[in-house]
Amino acid sequence: MLGSLIVLVGQIVGRIEEWGRFDALYWSFITALTVGCGDIRPMQRMSRVLAVIIAFLGIMLTGIFVAITVATAQSAFHESIDPEVLRMIQERFNSR
């Protein structure tokens, strides 16, 4: 959903700025992922407003990926660790 929205808004900016479709797609993901190479940049005021929106969408997308990764790692950890080993680690940590 967020990826589609990033592409859509990027294509709108591309039309405003008179870029090609690929350049608009490239720019939208470079902006969303906060890489910001600077080789393509919007000049129109509305394009710049939309660039800020794309940046926020990209931050949200990154946050979702991080949350999913952390949840998956925690789940795998809790499924694979022996409860006795976990108790020993906790006791050792609490004794410091």
pLDDT in tens, 20-61: 999 999 999 999 998 988 899 999 999 999 999 999 999 999
What percentage of the chain has pLDDT greater than the value 70? 99
Mean pLDDT of all residues in the chain? 92
Among 9-13, 18-22, 86-90, the least confident range: 86-90
Joined tokens for residue 81: 């660790």
Residue in 42, 47, 40 with CA at minimum distance from that of residue 22: 40
**Nearest-angstrom CA–CA distance, 6 and 40:** 16
**Nearest-angstrom CA–CA distance, 14 and 31:** 13
Could you tell me the pTM of the whole model? 0.75
Query: Where is 67: in which H helix or E strand?
Result: helix 45-80
SS3 36: coil
CATH architecture label of 2-94: Orthogonal Bundle (1.10)
**Nearest-angstrom CA–CA distance, 52 and 69:** 26
